[in-house]
A and B are shown apart, each in its own frame.
Chain A
Amino acid sequence: ETGVTQTPRHLVMGMTNKKSLKCEQHLGHNAMYWYKQSAKKPLELMFVYSLEERVENNSVPSRFSPECPNSSHLFLHLHTLQPEDSALYLCASSPFPGSPILSSYNEQFFGPGTRLTVL
């Protein structure tokens, strides 16, 4: 596998279910991101992990719980979701962020996404 992979690609769940989305990057990056893509809305940044530490949580409801056990893996644990949470969830990764030594350009590489439907 190369790049950023996400599993599952499609997920249908009820409001009382608990499920997890998985993201894995094979690029040696140190930052990972979760985005939510809803129809007719801009991509929304949900969480950012840098060197396995959460550095941003954009007012995301607690029914979404991220986990970053190492720099290659990122999970999004889901529980008691609402129908309005149905969306495409995209994972991305980038090289070490914010280093003044680097060119300061940190391209984000995206995975194919998980299409989530909450019934």
Chain B
Amino acid sequence: AQSVTQLDSQVPVFEEAPVELRCNYSSSVSVYLFWYVQYPNQGLQLLLKYLSGSTLVKGINGFEAEFNKSQTSFHLRKPSVHISDTAEYFCAVRPPSAGGTSYGKLTFGQGTILTVHP
């Protein structure tokens, strides 16, 4: 079984400042890692994912995340945020599919609300 902990429920930040949203996970097997963003009144949109290879992954809208296996973390960063980045961000994990009914069950964290102030 997997679990995901997002350490901050709310992160306020000023426009053009850097931001880091923290995510730690627990799993007895290797996992894929994801960050999703949810803008108000919308569904979830994939920001970026780590499947394998380079531990630094870049996503859309200038976000990046670094996978740290020893610390079981996958923190999300952006060097300079915009007002339009105000949204809720979800970290998620799932084991690699292995055939059969392994459809890719995602386990989500509780979410972090990022509020960017002018």
A61 at the interface (CB under 8 A from B): no
State how many angstroms separate the Cβ of A48 from the closest Cβ of chain B: 6
Interface size (A, Cβ < 8 Å)? Answer: 31
Q: Is the interface of A mostly helix, strand, loop or mixed?
A: loop
Across the interface, do A50 and B43 meet the contact criterion of CB distance under 8 Å? no
Cα distance A48–B106 in the bound complex, in angstroms: 11
Specify which of B99, B103, B105, B111 is in contact with A100 (CB 8 Å cutoff): B99
Are B43 and A98 in contact, CB atoms less than 8 angstroms apart?
no
Contact assessment for B97 and A50 in the assembled complex, using a CB-CB cutoff below 8 Å: no
Q: Given A42-B111, A90-B44, A110-B43, does the pair A98, B102 have CB atoms closer than 8 Å?
A: yes
Majority DSSP secondary structure for residues of B touching A? loop
Query: Is B100 in the interface zone, CB < 8 Å from A?
Result: yes
Query: Closest 3 interchain pairs by CB?
Result: A97-B103, A110-B43, A104-B97
Q: Please, which residues of chain B bring their CB within 8 A of the CB of A59?
A: none
User: Would you call A43 and B104 a contact (CB within 8 A)?
Assistant: no
A105 cross-chain contacts in B, Cβ below 8 A = 32, 49, 51, 96-97
Q: Which of A76-119 contact B (CB under 8 A)?
A: 90, 92, 94, 97-100, 102-108, 110-113
A98 touches B105 (CB 8 A): no
Contact partner of B104 (CB less than 8 A), chosen from A6, A90, A108, is A108
Contacts of B98 in A (CB 8 A): 98, 100, 104
